[in-house]
Amino acid sequence: MKKDIFTLLGGFLSAVFFFRINRVSVEWFTQISIEAFVFMISAGAALAINLFAIWKNTYVSKKAKDQKDFLNAITNFKQSSGTAFYFMAL
- Say if CB 85 and CB 77 are below 8 A apart: yes
Residue boundaries of the structural domains of the chain: 2-58, 59-90
Task: Compute the distance between CA of residue 18 and CA of residue 30 in angstroms, rounded to an integer.
Answer: 16
- Say if CB 68 and CB 74 are below 8 A apart: no
The alpha carbon of residue 89 and the mean position of all alpha carbons in its chain are separated, in whole angstroms, by: 29
pLDDT for the residue 22: 73
pLDDT for the residue 72: 86
Output Rg (C-alpha) for the chain, integer angstroms: 25
- Say if CB 16 and CB 22 are below 8 A apart: no
pLDDT per residue as tens digits for the range 17-76: 887 777 766 677 788 888 898 999 999 999 999 998 888 777 677 887 888 888 888 887
